[in-house]
């Protein structure tokens, strides 16, 4: 197996894409690039909605800036290389190089962002912020890294403003 050059992590906000959702979802059995999503199951989505312990979370401009700033701070503190980050209204993409496992990296990013959001008063003290897991892909070629960076920065729809997304590479100069 080739050495990882970077990780491509997508973390969804809490309550925004429940299993069974009409858009399809990713789970342990549907998490390989190029394979179909889990099929919609309205009953499963309703069951998951009933089990939620807080409101769905959406990232407005202040929350997006906080999440992205936290990701940058975590990378700088841990000596990781942030290559791209883009927080949208209901999920965040990040491409980075880390010396930790992909699971540890995703956990660290999400937990530090949650603390930053709580500290800033942008979410309540008991409000879940993130979906339970994340989509975690190990990138093993320069082409894969470049594709993930391009997707993160340029293929997410209209610029929402107030985010680092379009200037990620410049962050290290600030």
- Per residue in 114-165, pLDDT (tens digit) is 999 999 999 999 999 999 888 899 999 999 999 999 999 888 888 776 555 4
Helix, strand or coil for residue 56? coil
Residue 44 pLDDT = 76
| Tally of domains within the chain | 2
Q: Scanning the structure block, which residue is given the tokens 């050495």?
A: 3
Q: Please provide the size of the chain in residues.
A: 174
- Does one domain contain both 50 and 95? no
Tell me the per-residue pLDDT of 24-36, one tens digit each, with 9 for 90 and over.
666 666 556 566 7
Are 54 and 15 in contact, with CB atoms under 8 Å apart?
A: yes
Give the pLDDT band (50/70/90) at residue 174.
Answer: very low
Q: Are residues 82 and 152 in the same domain?
A: yes
The residue segments making up the domain with residue 154 are 6-13+57-121+129-173
The more confident residue out of 121 and 174 is 121
Mean pLDDT of 98-110: 97
Is residue 21 predicted with pLDDT exceeding 60? yes
Rounded to whole angstroms, how far apart are CA atoms 5 and 98?
A: 9
Label residue 155 exposed, middle or buried (CB < 10 Å: 0-12, 13-18, 19+). exposed
Residues 63 and 73 occupy one common structural domain: yes
Quick one: which of 123, 131, 130, 151 has its CA closest to 139?
151
Same domain, 94 and 108: yes
Please tell me whether residues 41 and 81 are part of one structural domain.
no
Token digits of residue 144: 């894969």
Q: Are residues 25 and 36 in the same domain?
A: yes
Task: Give pLDDT tens digits for 78-94.
Answer: 999 999 999 999 999 99
Average pLDDT score, the chain: 85
């Amino acid at each position: 197996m080739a050495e990882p050059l970077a990780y491509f992590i997508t973390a969804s906000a809490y309550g925004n894409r429940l299993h069974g959702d009409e858009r399809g979802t990713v789970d342990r059995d549907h998490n390989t690039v190029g394979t179909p999503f889990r099929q919609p199951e309205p009953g499963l989505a309703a069951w998951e909605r009933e089990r939620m312990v807080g409101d769905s979370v959406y990232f407005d401009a202040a929350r997006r800036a906080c999440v992205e700033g936290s990701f940058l701070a975590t990378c700088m503190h841990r000596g990781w290389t942030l290559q791209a980050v883009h927080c949208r209204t209901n999920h965040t993409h990040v491409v980075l190089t880390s010396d930790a496992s992909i699971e540890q990296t995703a956990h660290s990013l999400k937990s530090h962002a949650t603390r930053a959001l709580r500290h800033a008063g942008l979410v309540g003290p008991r409000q879940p912020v993130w979906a339970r897991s994340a989509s975690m892909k190990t990138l093993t070629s320069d082409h894969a890294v470049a594709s993930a960076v391009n997707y993160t920065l340029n293929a997410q729809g209209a610029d929402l403003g107030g985010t680092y997304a379009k200037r990620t590479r410049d962050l290290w100069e600030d």
